[in-house]
Amino acid sequence: MPEYLTYSPEPDHTVRPPFNLDTLPGLIAQTVRRQPDGIALQWREDDQLKRITYGQLWSRVEALVRALLANGLGPEDHLGIWSENRWEWVVAYLAILRTGATVVPLDALQKPHEIRHILVDAGVRLIFTSHKFADSLLEIAERIPGEVRLVSFDEKEDSLGFAPWLKQGMSGDIPDKIRPDLSASAAIIYTSGTTGFAKGVLLTHRNIASNIAGFYQVLDFQTGDVFLSVLPLHHTFECTVGMLGPLIAGCTIHYARSLKSRDIIDDLAVGGITIMLGVPLLFDKLLDAINRGIDNQSWHRRALLKTMRQAVRVVKRATGANLGTAAFRALRIKAGMGKIRLMISGGAALPASIAESYNELGFPLMQGYGLTETSPVLATNTPGHTKHTSVGKVIPGVSVRIDNPDTGGIGEIMAKGDCVMVGYYKNEAATKSTFRDGWFATGDTGWLDKEGYLTIAGRVKEIIVTGAGKNINPEEVEAELNKSSYILESLVIGIPSRSGVGEGLGALVVPNYEAIDQSAEARGVTMTPKELDQLIHDEVRDRCRDLPKYKHVKKVRLHMEEFQRTSTGKIKRFLYRGQFASISAE
């Protein structure tokens, strides 16, 4: 049994000392005083690069604070934001916090009935929104007890407009008494996780500020760095690591035009991006785009690049040295990505193969780990301290424990530190069930190695237990099935056995119709539904051959459309658990 099951780091991977904690507006105000003329935010508009300095940003924040106070809003109020990423989102967020109120960020992908539930549960009094969501919000507001006011970022002439609110607050004083303290509520973030029940995660200024102070010590980002903001700002990863952290450090944030790979690559070049955050799906699509660009080179150029990539792999395996940074420098510059010095993946597990593919091209991609409930970062790989199969080392200020480990040291990951949430808003029962002996239960399983690297094994609630007591992580089986060129994606579900003891495995499979059609055309045949079904069954059987027998899929069903996912790309498993309800595994 490993002895290193609890890890409270005396970090060996820090690059600088921590900063003194303050409230989030207080920390950003310090940046404003240091560099009022520095560029805080930028974006593309009408083929021009628009910019806002730190001084201009703070002037608008304070104007909105005055307007909120003048309209009877302030400390103790809950104010929402439902909008796509834009500079107004940042102003609204910071102004809400500066008034001492609590911000409720809303997921742009949530359905109206979900938004209604959140607004009622959180008691939201006002929502900042955009033209894209205004009509839906007006309809929702009519079905909510009490008044919910709307302020649209896009309306400019009437009383509902954001611009008139800023104009209203351009002069006047802000009372000192409304300043929040570190223990004050900062945000209530409703999780869109895979359980189907959204809970409001209550985070204080201390929670979020201490988390930033932790990853600030191990990640080198500073004035002169330009972050590309691609992920939605309501997501804690993007909000904390991609917005608040950079603003506290004096960086510039560039807002991407879209999630399309070609637009992202263009923004990387135009914005002079040095640091990029993303989720695995985003980095996977971007890698495909990079590889397509290589494939479009002349045949002799392709051959040269292929030879260079193989040489980089051989040297890396033999010596550990990565020659990709130097070997592919010209390629990165030509693609407009020559300034990138750090790429961080979060929100879901990043396959090591993707990180290694980026690394061999000279892109320093690494992954971290955290949850909304931990503000969010618990651990991260860093330059010089990276194991791609792990999520890195625990950040300063955080302790991690492996609870009830098995003989291999794998157990539930428990966390403790100032970044851990106060609890779930108005849900004492859920809060109590999530904490054990003062430790937060993440719901993830994993292990710590003797160097302090944390590796995720799976989810506690997604573990499938066989009648023989074998534990199966469905994601491991899914990864094997998804290697088939005829399978686009799969979802492995536990099926009760006929005896009622334990579970077997069933799989919902989305066929890769493009690959199947190409294969049929090459053979000059037309695939019938029966043949398609048999093909997928055969593929599942073949892919399971390399797995232990207890991990073999017993039942297969075709699923004709892609699975519904959360905003971070995780399949909403709870939606599909009834697919095999009437079928036993034996």
Look up the CATH number of the domain holding residue 66.
3.40.50.980
Domain count, the chain: 2
Assess if residue 402 is contained within a domain: no
The residue length of the chain stands at: 586
Assess if residue 481 is contained within a domain: yes
CATH number of the domain to which 477 belongs: 3.30.300.30
In tens digits, the chain (586 residues) has pLDDT values of: 344 566 655 677 899 999 999 999 999 999 999 999 999 999 999 889 999 999 999 999 999 999 999 999 999 999 999 999 999 999 999 999 999 999 999 988 777 888 999 999 999 999 999 999 988 888 898 888 888 999 999 965 444 789 999 999 988 888 777 889 999 999 999 986 555 567 999 999 999 999 999 999 999 999 999 999 999 999 999 999 999 999 999 999 999 999 888 899 999 999 999 999 999 888 988 998 888 888 888 888 888 888 888 888 888 888 878 888 888 898 888 888 899 999 999 988 888 889 999 999 999 999 999 999 999 999 999 998 999 999 999 999 999 999 999 888 999 999 999 999 999 999 999 999 999 999 999 999 999 998 999 999 988 877 887 876 677 889 889 999 999 999 999 999 988 877 567 788 999 999 999 899 988 888 888 889 999 999 999 999 999 998 888 899 999 999 988 898 887 788 888 888 888 765 555 5
Assess if residue 395 is contained within a domain: no
- Beta-bridged to residue 202, according to DSSP, are 188, 423
Check: CB of residue 103 under 8 Å from CB of residue 23.
no
E-assigned strand segments in 171-230: 185-190, 200-204, 226-229
* Amino acid at site 532: L
Instruction: Measure the CA dihedral 118/122/128/133, to 10°.
Output: 10
Q: Give the up-direction half-sphere exposure of residue 184: CA atoms within 13 A in the CB hemisphere.
A: 23
The Cα–Cα gap between 34 and 124 comes to 35
Assess if residue 544 is contained within a domain: yes
Per-residue tokens: 61: 């924040």
Assess if residue 312 is contained within a domain: no
Assess if residue 175 is contained within a domain: yes
Helix (H) or strand (E) holding 5: none
The Cα–Cα gap between 57 and 32 comes to 9
Question: Could you tell me how far CA 547 lies from the centroid of its own chain?
Answer: 30
The Cα–Cα gap between 150 and 235 comes to 21
Which residue, of 135, 158, 181, is where some domain finishes? 181
The H helix count followed by the E strand count for the chain is 19, 27
Per-residue tokens: 104: 């409720």
E-assigned strand segments in 141-204: 149-152, 185-190, 200-204
The boundaries of the domain holding residue 540 are 464-575
Closest CA to 382 of 220, 268, 272, 534: 220
Which residue, of 151, 181, 211, is where some domain finishes? 181
* Pair type for strands 124-129 and 78-82: parallel
E-assigned strand segments in 239-305: 252-255, 275-278
- Beta-bridged to residue 367, according to DSSP, are 345
Which residue, of 181, 212, 242, is where some domain finishes? 181
* Amino acid at site 265: I
Per-residue tokens: 50: 């628009």
Assess if residue 366 is contained within a domain: no
Assess if residue 202 is contained within a domain: no
